[in-house]
Amino acid sequence: MASKRRLKRRRRVPARKPVVRVEKRTRKPPVRKGRRKTAARPIRKIAGRKAKLGAGRKARSRRNPAGRGTGLLGSPWTAKEAAISSAAPADGRSEPTFVEYYPEENVHFEAAKGLDETVHEYLKEKTVTARPAFAAVIPNGRVWGWDGAVLTSDYRLLSDVSMEFSWEYIIDHRHSIQRRWRTNPVLKVPGTVGVLTHPGGRNFYHWMFDIVPRIHLLRNSGVPIDKYVMMRNRSPYQNEILNLLNIPREQRIYTHKRFHLQAKKLVVPSLTSKFSWSPSHYPLPVVYARWACQAVRNQLLPHGNPPNEANERLYISRSMAIQRKMLNERDLLNLLQPLGFTVIHPETLSVRDQIGLFASAKTIVAPHGAALANLAFCRPGTQVIELCPPNYVPGYFWMLSRHFDLDYYCLLGDRHVFSSKPWQGGADFTVDLKRLAEVLEKAGIR
């Protein structure tokens, strides 16, 4: 009886809950410096690690098909070297693969005019050498990336026709494709493709003077062009200029971020300009070739609207721009409009209208901006007064004025305010109206 009672009591006792032990977090002991003794690893693990290394090498070789030590990883070529090395044996029937149209020339620029005897260092008198102009035919050539780097069929970069607005390219002659290369899907074109790619293709000035002259070179090459490859520009002026030059939409191929084209025959024209790097960290033009400026005028001036003598004095406004605005433009217009100046907003005009206005002008006052590319259509002797920010004086339009025999003055602004784009060339600024009135008086504008 006593044993049965003990069993009943034991059954009535509830079961104990399991005790969960929480371990305290402790800091890991510091790793000792020096070589660590480890036990011998099994052969299987070593073999597996070697297999992984081999797979990595294969992946790297797929990124750079040219292989180590050549192509993208080696020293770049020039377009002339690539064209001559790929030329067929002379049999009397093969077409030329490299043709030079304009020889190397020395270009002299006189100093800019202004109020002060000391001229800005970028606008001083100088004589520089412009490179020769050519067109090269590259069999099975490639165009890669948004800016359109040019490569041979075996992935060798042609550095003299693959421009970049970067310190690496301008100073150190290194192209970013050598670190950004990826095997993008290839668009193969069976015909002949003319190259019009340039990193400034989305800017009106660079479109006019870095791309339009190269169309002139392509047409002088004598090679029939089936397609043209270029950077897409959604501004209406690109489509209008291409239509004026008889390049229809079906002949255009636009680059993009993952662009990679290979053509049966690639015709590559030379670049039209040469750049250096300013201490203020922006690309500084050294020279634009005289033939390139004349090519812009000769190709587009016949398509402009007839000159209107009523618009002989123009002020080019940047009030609709997103950067480099005149902060005291209202006061500036109070000074200019009584002198007969007409305010122009180039964004609202067609290319034909802009050509006609600049061809009829005798005096132009304007803040530094791409619309001054239309100086190519001015008559010799036209007075140009460019208003520049105090920290951005690249000298583009000073050189244009010297090429077209224009009477050029430069007036620096007083202060600058960074607005939407904090870079040297994007600052809004003001101009001293008393100094501007003195420049107008000096130029004989009353």
Given this model, what pLDDT does residue 172 score?
74
Range of the domain at 174: 71-100+131-277
pLDDT at residue number 249: 95
pLDDT of residue 61: 42
> Total structural domains in the chain?
2
Residues 204, 80 within the same domain: yes
Could you tell me if residue 4 is inside a domain? no
Predicted pLDDT of residue 175: 84
What is the C-alpha to C-alpha distance for residues 275 and 309, in angstroms, rounded to an integer? 37
Residues 258 and 346 in one domain: no
> For the ranges 26-30, 34-38, 175-179, 256-260, which has the lowest average pLDDT?
34-38
* Other Cβ atoms closer than 10 A to 284: 16
User: Do residue 135 and residue 272 come from a single domain?
Assistant: yes
For residues 264 and 396, membership in a common domain is answered with no
pLDDT (tens digit per residue) in 43-81? 444 445 444 444 444 444 444 554 443 346 457 889 999
d(CA 132, CA 360): 33
- What per-residue confidence (pLDDT) applies to 70? 38
At 102 the three-state DSSP class reads: strand
Residue 3 has pLDDT above 80, yes or no: no
Which of 19-33, 89-103, 106-120, 221-235 shows the lowest per-residue confidence on average (mean pLDDT)? Answer: 19-33
Report the pLDDT value the prediction gives residue 446, as an integer from 0 to 100: 86
Say if residue 266 is in the same domain as residue 221. yes
| Domain CATH for 377 | 3.40.50
DSSP string, 281-349: SSEEEEEE-HHHHHHHHHHHGGGSPPP-TT--EEEE--TTSSSS-BTTHHHHHHHHGGGTPEEE-GGGS
Helix, strand, coil share of the chain (percent; to 5): 35, 20, 45
Query: Among 62-71, 136-145, 328-337, 427-436, whose mean pLDDT is lowest?
Result: 62-71
Task: Out of 260, 277, 294, pick the residue that ends a domain.
Answer: 277
Output the DSSP codes for 180-229. Answer: H---PPPEEEEEEEEE---TTTTSHHHIIIIIHHHHHHHHHT-PPPSEEE
Among 26-35, 167-176, 353-362, the least confident range: 26-35
Q: What is the pLDDT of residue 282?
A: 83
Report pLDDT digits (tens) over 392-430.
Answer: 899 999 999 999 999 999 999 987 776 555 667 788 899
More confident residue, 258 or 169: 258
Show Cβ contacts of residue 313 under 8 Å, excluding neighbours closer than 6 positions.
336, 339, 340, 341, 342, 361, 362, 363, 364, 445
Please check whether residues 204 and 329 belong to one and the same domain: no
The confidence score (pLDDT) of residue 15 equals: 54
Q: Which two tokens stand for residue 361?
A: 């002008």
* Inter-residue contact 200 to 206 (CB < 8 Å): yes
Percent of the chain with pLDDT over 90: 60
Residue 18: band (very low, low, confident or very high) from pLDDT cuts 50, 70, 90: low
Same-domain pairing of 76 and 198: yes
Last residue of a domain, one of 259, 277, 295: 277
Q: Is the pLDDT of residue 348 over 50?
A: yes
Question: Do 212 and 336 have their domain in common?
Answer: no
For 263-280, what is each residue's pLDDT tens digit? 999 999 999 999 988 887
Q: 223-234: per-residue pLDDT in tens?
A: 999 999 999 888
φ and ψ at residue 74, rounded to 5 degrees: -105, -170
Whether 39 shows a pLDDT value over 80: the answer reads no
Domain membership of residue 63 (yes or no) is no
**DSSP-based three-state secondary structure for 113:** strand
Residue 93: its pLDDT value, please? 47
Helices (H), 223-289: 236-244
Poorest-confidence range of 88-97, 168-177, 282-291, 354-363? 88-97
Residues 361 and 429 in one domain: yes
Flag the least confident range among 184-193, 409-418, 436-445.
409-418
pTM of the model as a whole: 0.81
